[in-house]
Structure 1
Amino acid sequence: MNLEGKRVLVVGSGKSGVAAAELLRKKGITFVLFDGNKDLDVTALIEKNPVFAGAEILLGELAPEDMARIDLVVLSPGVPTDLPMVNELRNRQIPIWGEIELAYHFAKGRIIAITGTNGKTTTTSLVGEIMANYFDDVKVVGNIGIPYTSVAADTTEDTVTVAEISSFQLETTHEYAPEVTAILNITPDHLNRHHTMECYIETKESITKNQTAGDTCVLNYEDEVLRRFGETLQTKVVFFSSKRKLEKGLYLDGEDIFYADGTTDTKVINVNELNILGKHNYENVMAAVGMSVSFGVPMDKIVEVLKRFQAVEHRIEYVTEKRGVKFYNDSKGTNPDAAIQGIRAMNRPTLLIGGGYDKQSEYDEWIESFDGKVKKLVLIGQTKEKIAECAKKHGFEDVILCDTFEEAIDTCYANAVSGDAVLLSPACASWGMFANYEERGRIFKEYVRNLAE
């Protein structure tokens, strides 16, 4: 679609909307901003984001006459694609893109894209560092916090773009075609948005929809959904496994990670040489190696990065030690499966802070994963009663409900003794109490560091 002379509706005035507007302005394309908040302070918005100065801004409701003047819609990822307004735009045959599709329209170079329920940020960061160790111009973008649209205009044919792609972003891709993709795992998440598990799986798998036979998809062999999916793909498929030896792909054998090309099995690294903990992180490492090898990076360049790579912020991140109690920030554990990995990584008795926004998740497997490690479960937020009830159903009685985040931290500290750990791993989204999981993690770290010795 040629956007020259077109009128584009940017929906949402947050980070993604701002980056989309900036890209459109750079390319000389007229845009209209729409935000559903009818009380939005437009003057303050323009002061903060000058890109909106001079643009038409519509608030609250989108009238039929406004829709009639639009040629393309760019939705921010946080805007559900089944809103009545979006359905009406779709019924009018107006194309609906997300910021990934808009960026792809203008971007140049080669692309690697990573999705999955858990592990995306760690794997994307690791792949980004591996690429930067071999290529001169590397951009790391997407759900990791840097909108793809904010760098698309600066890409060249020599650029390698590594993108973390969420299911929300995949809903609005059309021609987006990465050279190498990975789906790390699929477990229930965001069912309040996707409604059914089948829809969620289909959305995740759509990351491969425009790949060709010469492209590569890296998949988790131990995820039954993905193993079956790999058998249907026309692209090259690289599997990784943490449970068995594979004839081709990456696998964990004891404490060693191997790469098998079909004829030779090459030891990549011993897990004790890594700076990240837990089997889930070894899976992330295998996925990163699979993508990097498929992209043409020599193994020695990959291993150099594996040996120095540190855990990403908010993912089982060590914060500090007070009175012999170690504090860990796993704010990125925004669903039960991610939070299970946080528990598994703990090697001492743990006081666990959980709860938050209700994404219609089930918490049974998370509670069962406590496995004697969790001394007390301290709960906050919208889901605290729901989780407490689930815990008691599974025979876990050491539950404390708190009204505030600070009260939860204080409660853990008061009940901890030397040799314990306090872990923030909520198994829930942060919305309602915090802007995002990053803010929740930052507040946790700041508060913990100021606790009295």
Structure 2
Amino acid sequence: MDQSQKVLVAGTGVSGIAAAKLILGRGGEVVLYDGNTALNETEIKEQFDEGARVNVVLGEIKRSDLLGVELCIISPGIPLTSPFVAVVDEAKIPILGEIELAYQCSAGKLAAITGTNGKTTTTALTGAILKKQYEETFVVGNIGEPYTARASEMTEKSVTVAEISSFQLETIMDFHPNVSAVLNITPDHLDRHGTMEAYTQIKECITMNQTSEDTVVLNFDDPILKEFGKKEGLKPKAVWFSSKETLKDGFFLKDRDIVYAKEGKEQVLVNVNDLQLLGQHNYENVMAAAAVALAMGVPFEKITEAVKEFKPVEHRIEFVRERTGVRYYNDSKGTNPDAAIRALRAMPGPVLLIAGGYDKHSDYSAWAGEFAGRVKYLVLIGQTRDKIAACAKEHGFNEIMYAEDLEEAVQVCAVYADAGDCVLLSPACASWGMFKDFEERGRVFKKSVMDL
């Protein structure tokens, strides 16, 4: 990025503000845009130093707002099909994503992790492992701190692990991780990407600029990724992990051990009973994180040490409390059916399941097929409750209740649960419409549980 450019930054959320600050720090000028007219311009400007070269535009973008603008940085929340993007395209202004901006302004080695489910846990765990070996370790992306917020602090000695979403991968150009990982690909965000093929292609873009010197970590059990890893033209070296197959090379599950094999020689990384993470999907996350860390130069013993110490990430099958013999789990990050299946399978007893939320046009059939023998009661909230109820009934499951909000759902579960049961919030849907984000939904759930 040219130091003195006038740059349009679209989106005034955490990552948009971080991108604007990064541009200003490099001597640029910013036009900060948001389509939401209810926002307060003064409050937005207060997030910057006095006299900062920032002009705020709210509502509709006009051609006159783009005078002198040489580059546009777009928030991942804005679809490339939006009218805003059409105006910028018409003005022939190049568009970059925040992740691309951060990459161009950063230094050091980079590991980038994507996939439909497990990204946050795997990214946090990879960061914890890398910290055992490298003093300057940054953990960024969707996991909490935007990549743009830390890019200017990175040096040639730094190692960075970034959680990358499909929305962010839509706008990369030169983005080049030394190690990439694609954990799994199952239907999600089809309201945005349209088809499974388009969604898959975007996820696979993470390897676009990698070379034969680099590594991509892939899930051997995922049919899409198995095919992708064997594709002609894939430049990085593929490293596999599997919870179902014994591999000659890679990480796999053998009885209760996670094993690493190289040219047939096996080495035990950890016994899963020594982990603080629940469920097979988390064993896969451990394998992926270990494979990334090994490729980033962390010794095997340090990886073992870090995975044993690691505690679950908030809102991902997070144990909240036990009350009258009933265990409560917060899996607010279970925002699609595949993630919700994983949480359900990880439960140590019969489940009272709280689900429902914003409609992302997901298919709930596979998830509903898991209810028999696992779920005692299904308590539904939100926009999708009728759709989920109908799907559950098609699969022969009729123990369904409705609640007006999450607090009521928790109270209903507390009444109907017996000792030995688990109450699980794993919505299989996004939180929008009822909550700002999945974090807020998770916090409301935890407070409701603690208030019982």
CA contact (8 A) 1:271 1:282 kept: yes
TM-score by length of 2: 0.97
CA contact (8 A) 1:325 1:421 kept: yes
SS for the counterpart of 1:151 is helix
Q: What is the aligned partner in structure 2 of residue 372 from structure 1?
A: 373
Q: What is the aligned partner in structure 2 of residue 190 from structure 1?
A: 189
Q: Bigger shift: 358-367 or 40-49?
A: 40-49
How far the C-alpha of 1:56 sits from its partner, in A, is 1.2
TM-score by length of 1: 0.97
Give the residue type in structure 2 aligned to 1:219.
Answer: L
SS for the counterpart of 1:259 is strand
Residues 2-81 of structure 1 aligned to structure 2 (within 5 Å):
2-48=1-47, 55-81=54-80
How far the C-alpha of 1:54 sits from its partner, in A, is 5.2
SS for the counterpart of 1:58 is strand
**CA-atom RMSD, angstroms?**
1.3
Q: What is the aligned partner in structure 1 of residue 120 from structure 2?
A: 121
Q: What is the aligned partner in structure 1 of residue 393 from structure 2?
A: 392
Q: What is the aligned partner in structure 1 of residue 228 from structure 2?
A: 229
Structure 1 unaligned spans of 5+:
none
Q: How many Å separate the matches in 2 of 1:39 and 1:274?
A: 47
How far the C-alpha of 1:51 sits from its partner, in A, is 7.5
How far the C-alpha of 1:92 sits from its partner, in A, is 3.6
Q: Does 1:418 align with 2:419?
A: yes
Q: Percent identity?
A: 53
Q: How many Å separate the matches in 2 of 1:217 and 1:92?
A: 37
SS for the counterpart of 2:133 is coil
Q: How many Å separate the matches in 2 of 1:53 and 1:215?
A: 40
Q: How many Å separate the matches in 2 of 1:422 and 1:415?
A: 10
How far the C-alpha of 1:447 sits from its partner, in A, is 1.4
SS for the counterpart of 1:376 is strand
SS for the counterpart of 1:252 is strand
Q: How many Å separate the matches in 1 of 2:235 and 2:76?
A: 29
Give the residue type in structure 1 aligned to 2:134.
Answer: F
Structure 2 unaligned spans of 5+:
none
Q: How many Å separate the matches in 1 of 2:34 and 2:50?
A: 15
Q: How many Å separate the matches in 1 of 2:2 and 2:50?
A: 19
Q: What is the aligned partner in structure 1 of residue 205 from structure 2?
A: 206
Q: What is the aligned partner in structure 2 of residue 344 from structure 1?
A: 345
How far the C-alpha of 1:324 sits from its partner, in A, is 1.3
How far the C-alpha of 1:65 sits from its partner, in A, is 2.5
CA contact (8 A) 2:100 2:175 kept: yes
Q: How many Å separate the matches in 1 of 2:167 and 2:158?
A: 25
Residues 231-270 of structure 1 aligned to structure 2 (within 5 Å):
231-232=230-231, 233-270=234-271
Deviation string for 1:133-191 (max 9, x for gaps)?
01111000001011001001111110100000011111111101000000000000011
Give the residue type in structure 2 aligned to 1:281.
Answer: N
Q: How many Å separate the matches in 1 of 2:251 and 2:165?
A: 24
Give the residue type in structure 1 aligned to 2:152.
Answer: A
Give the residue type in structure 1 aligned to 2:142.
Answer: N
Q: Does 1:312 align with 2:313?
A: yes
Q: What is the aligned partner in structure 2 of residue 326 from structure 1?
A: 327
Q: What is the aligned partner in structure 1 of residue 336 from structure 2?
A: 335
Q: How many Å separate the matches in 2 of 1:274 and 1:341?
A: 17
How far the C-alpha of 1:255 sits from its partner, in A, is 1.0
Q: What is the aligned partner in structure 2 of residue 180 from structure 1?
A: 179
Residues 350-369 of structure 1 aligned to structure 2 (within 5 Å):
350-369=351-370
Q: How many Å separate the matches in 2 of 1:438 and 1:217?
A: 30
SS for the counterpart of 2:43 is helix
SS for the counterpart of 1:133 is helix
CA contact (8 A) 1:118 1:338 kept: yes
How far the C-alpha of 1:332 sits from its partner, in A, is 0.7
> How many residue pairs are counted as aligned between the two chains?
450
Structure 1 runs (4+) deviating above 3 angstroms are 47-54
Q: How many Å separate the matches in 1 of 2:202 and 2:82?
A: 17
Gap change, CA 1:444 and 1:45, over 3 Å in 2: same
CA contact (8 A) 1:18 1:51 kept: no
Q: How many Å separate the matches in 1 of 2:392 and 2:370?
A: 11
Residues 154-169 of structure 1 aligned to structure 2 (within 5 Å):
154-169=153-168
